[in-house]
Chains A and B, each alone.
Chain A
Amino acid sequence: MSILTEHTGAANHAAHEQGQASGEPPLRAERVTKEYLGGSRVALDNISIDIKENQITALIGPSGCGKTTFLRLMAGLEYPTRGSVTAYGKPIMGPGPERGMVFQAYTSFPWLTIRENVQHGMKIQGFSKAEQRDRAEHFLKLVHLDEYADAYPGELSGGMKQRVAIARTLAQGPELLLLDEPFGALDAQVTWEMEEMAVDIIERESKTVVLVTHDIQEAIYLADRILFFTRQPGRIKEDIAMEFKQGRRFAKKEELLVEPGYVDMEKRLYTMMREEIQGRIS
Chain B
Amino acid sequence: MNDAPLSGSVSRADLLVADDENLKAEAPLFKPPREQFLGLRGSVGRYQSMFLGMVGIIALFVAWEIAHVMTPENQQKFLPSVGQVVSKIAYLFTEKGYIADVAKSVYRIYVSFFFACLFAVPLGLFKGCFAKIRALINPTVGGLRYLPAASFVPLLLVYFGPTDFAKLALLFLGCVFFLTALILDNVEAVPKELIESAQTMGASRWHIVFRVAFRSAAPQILDSMRNMIAVSWTYLVIAEIVAATDGIGAVMMRGARFLHVDIIMGGILTIGVLGVLTDLSFRIAGHFLFPYIRARR
Contacts and interface: CB of A to CB of B under 8 A. Distances in A.
Interface of A: 10, 12, 75-77, 94-97, 99-101, 103, 105, 107, 109-112, 120-121, 124-125, 151-155, 165, 169, 172
A-B CB proximity, top 9 nearest: A97-B202, A154-B296, A121-B201, A95-B199, A152-B292, A107-B197, A152-B295, A154-B295, A101-B200
B194 A111 contact: no
Contact of B197 (A94, A101, A152, A155): A101
B191 interface: yes
B201 A154 contact: no
Contacts of A94: 199
A174 B150 CA distance: 58
Nearest to A112: B292
B202 A121 contact: yes
Interface string B190-209: 01011011111111100100
Interface residues of B, number: 24
16 contacts: A75-B196, A94-B199, A96-B200, A97-B202, A101-B196, A103-B193, A107-B194, A107-B196, A110-B216, A121-B201, A121-B202, A124-B202, A124-B203, A152-B292, A152-B296, A169-B200
A121 B193 CA distance: 15
A109 B216 contact: yes
B257 interface: no
Contacts of A152: 291-292, 295-296
Given A105-B191, A110-B216, A111-B216, A124 B196 contact: no
Contacts of B296: 110, 152, 154-155
A125 B202 contact: yes
Tell me the dominant secondary structure on chain A's binding face: loop
Contacts of B200: 75-77, 95-97, 99-101, 169
B292 A154 contact: yes
Contact of B292 (A10, A107, A111): A111
Given A77-B196, A95-B200, A97-B201, A107 B215 contact: no
Interface string B283-296: 00000001111011
B297 interface: yes
A95 B297 CA distance: 33
Given A101-B196, A124-B202, 6 more contacts: A77-B200, A99-B200, A103-B197, A124-B207, A154-B292, A172-B202
Contacts of A10: 202
Nearest to B218: A111
Interface string B39-80: 000000000000000000000000000000000000000000
A152 B207 CA distance: 21
A172 B201 contact: yes
B212 interface: yes
- Give the most central of B193, B198, B201, B292: most A CB within 10 Å: B201
A40 B293 CA distance: 43
Interface in B153-188: none
A161 to B, nearest CB: 12
A261 B199 CA distance: 41
A110 B207 contact: no
Interface in B201-230: 201-204, 207, 212, 215-216, 218
Contact of B193 (A100, A105, A169): A105
A75 B200 CA distance: 7
Contacts of B191: 105, 107
A155 B292 CA distance: 9
A121 B200 CA distance: 9
